[in-house]
Chains A and B, each alone.
Chain A
Amino acid sequence: MNYVIVGNSVAAVGAIRAIRALDQQGNITVISREKHNAYGRPLISYLLGGLINEKRMSYLPDDFYNQNRINLLLNSEVIGVDTQTRQVKLAAGDSISYDRLLLATGGDPFIPPIEGMSDKDRIFTFTTWDDAAKLKVISQDINRAVVIGGGLIGLKAAEGLNLLNKSVTVIELADRVLSSAFDRPAGKIVARKMKANGIDVITEDTVVRIEGDGAEISGVTLKSGDFIPCDTLIVAIGVRPAAGFLKGSNIQVNRGIVVDNSMATSAENVYAAGDVAEAADFFSDQKNPMPIWPDAYIQGDIAGTAMAGGTKSYTGGLAMNSIEFFKVSTISMGITNPANPEEFEIHSFQDIQNYQYRKIILKNNLLVGAVLVGNVDRAGIFSGLIKEKIDMQQFKENLLLPDFGFVNLSREIRDALFAPTGKSTTCLVSSRPRQDDWTLDM
């Protein structure tokens, strides 16, 4: 069996492990347009800011590719897929045959056309190790940077530059930063923290023109008419599924590559996973791209399992982010800011002065989302309650407790979720262990 995986990040790793769990013999070829072994992509802001060195970028133990007998093709871009002859075509001209193909190419940063952009040197995106490396090389010469986009990528780029003592201005079109992952109070807390650390945050505005002579940038003009002087520009508006190479193939691409719950695409023997895929949403079941690291791993695992002949079913993408900004921890998951709040039950607690915020979103007594700022300890319990669809009717008030835990649920739920005594070996979910049950087992 010839497995070919296009892409070499977390979805690919999930797939490799899943394939090798079922098939020790098959050939696995991994093709990546980047020059690096799999690395912690979200760590690029840590690298830029000097918080970690290059060695710590490695996502995997050194022997991973050898141990799993991977034929690794780096610096190789796939420019097409022929599903009839079952081949992928490389930019270098050669083709590689597959029996099972995984497309895990991730996302491409989106760069809108902006007047004055074409001849300028110092315009960057911020999604790859090389992006961070390029910025690091010229960092001595950066005095003032403007970041377009106040989402996760933009803010992390801004933080990285701020750690290098650069003056940074973030410009966001929406009325607040982090508008997709967070609600207004959480966005406010983060913006306040950024401002306290010297990052200028401008909302409800955008760059309409890049100013400067020749290749050099002198500043940007905003829609409001304001001029912000800068010498470097980072475009962090968003990421799009990197599926352009599938034009002309018979693989169905909507916004991302459309997949079913085994990550199979519309073409036989072709799978997709990670940021490039468009899979079902946990709540709505509607398909949409979900550029979330843990989700990419899970999709890769499911795709790899299917490719090697096993079966696992995707339960739907659940958005979740854990990001720290200047030592303020933030975790958000699920539905955090519903468009039609009257359909939801929302409880919250805020102490903005002390950077503390906790918000719980329920629908029909099921937990569907949470936002935690400051005290994020044990946030994962919420993700478990969301995924397991536990009826929270009797426990709603408890969810805002700062030390919320399993004791705040019922014994039955605890046993079902937590299986204190090991469900399969001793007792059923509903039965309580008797004293002699466990003393005998010891």
Chain B
Amino acid sequence: MKRIYSIEDACIGCHLCEIGCITEHSLSKDPVKAFLHEKERPISRCTVEELNGGIISLSTTCRHCDEPDCLRACISGAIQKNCEGIVCLDREQCVGCWSCVMACPYGAVQRNLSSKKANKCDLCPDRETPACVEACPNRALVYREGSQK
């Protein structure tokens, strides 16, 4: 399946992938409205890690594992793998127990504390290329066929 890969050497630590992700998962899909006017701002599903003021930076996100640890740990069945291989989270079913946060070795499931729901990459079902990948100005994120590891 197609996955998102992160090229550390090309990452400039600009966090535009996070902005793209937040915008895509907002109600309006407009960055200004999403950040300034919507009541609930989504949480980014990708995380830019930085060290030494950005000398090292990389964007991390869900690997949509073949045998997802988050799915195995989920106590409510909110996490399922769909027929395309995408590891999906059903927000209605999620109880916010954070078992997925405990289990994901990539640290790729976030806690949304205001809604008390887990938050994870859905590979942008409404788009051909995930928003984070398109937002990256230096092509440090690529979306292509590849393995989990």
CB within 8 Å of A: which residues of B?
A: 3, 5-10, 47, 49-51, 56-58, 60, 67, 69-73, 75-77, 80, 92-93, 95-111, 139, 142, 144-149
Which residues in B have their C-beta under 8 angstroms from that of A407?
Answer: 49-51, 56-58
CB within 8 Å of B: which residues of A?
A: 14, 38, 40-43, 46, 51-52, 56, 58-61, 293-294, 297-298, 301, 320-324, 329, 331, 333, 376-381, 383-385, 387-388, 405-408, 411, 414, 417-426, 432-433, 435, 438-439, 441-442
Alpha-carbon distance between A239 and B109 when the two chains are bound, in angstroms: 30
Q: Are A420 and B8 in contact (CB under 8 A)?
A: yes
Instruction: Give 22 A-B contacts (CB < 8 Å), ordered by A residue.
Output: A42-B97, A43-B75, A46-B95, A56-B93, A60-B77, A297-B71, A298-B72, A322-B73, A324-B96, A329-B111, A376-B101, A376-B111, A379-B98, A380-B103, A381-B106, A407-B50, A411-B8, A419-B147, A420-B5, A422-B144, A425-B144, A442-B144
Dominant SS at the B interface? mixed
Q: Are B75 and A378 in contact (CB under 8 A)?
A: no
Alpha-carbon distance between A381 and B70 when the two chains are bound, in angstroms: 12
Which residues in B have their C-beta under 8 angstroms from that of A41?
Answer: 75
Which residues in A have their C-beta under 8 angstroms from that of B5?
Answer: 420-422
Q: Are A380 and B76 in contact (CB under 8 A)?
A: no
Among residues of A, the one whose C-beta sits closest to the C-beta of B77 is A59
A-B contact sample (7 more), CB < 8 A, given A324-B98, A406-B107, A441-B144 = A294-B72, A324-B96, A378-B101, A380-B100, A381-B105, A419-B148, A422-B149
Among residues of A, the one whose C-beta sits closest to the C-beta of B99 is A322
Alpha-carbon distance between A438 and B140 when the two chains are bound, in angstroms: 9
Which residues in B have their C-beta under 8 angstroms from that of A331?
Answer: 98, 101-102
Which residues in B have their C-beta under 8 angstroms from that of A405?
Answer: 47, 49, 60, 107
Q: Are B105 and A297 in contact (CB under 8 A)?
A: no
Which residues in B have their C-beta under 8 angstroms from that of A58?
Answer: 77
Among residues of A, the one whose C-beta sits closest to the C-beta of B90 is A61
Q: Are A377 and B95 in contact (CB under 8 A)?
A: no
Kindly provide the distance from the CB of A188 to the nearest chain B CB, expressed in whole angstroms: 21
Kindly provide the distance from the CB of B11 to the nearest chain A CB, expressed in whole angstroms: 9
Alpha-carbon distance between A298 and B69 when the two chains are bound, in angstroms: 9
Q: Are B149 and A380 in contact (CB under 8 A)?
A: no
Which residues in B have their C-beta under 8 angstroms from that of A42?
Answer: 75, 97
Q: Are A40 and B77 in contact (CB under 8 A)?
A: yes
Q: Are A61 and B3 in contact (CB under 8 A)?
A: no
Which residues in B have their C-beta under 8 angstroms from that of A424?
Answer: 146-147, 149
Q: Which of B7, B60, B69, B77 sits near A421, CB closer than 8 Å? A: B7
Alpha-carbon distance between A40 and B93 when the two chains are bound, in angstroms: 10
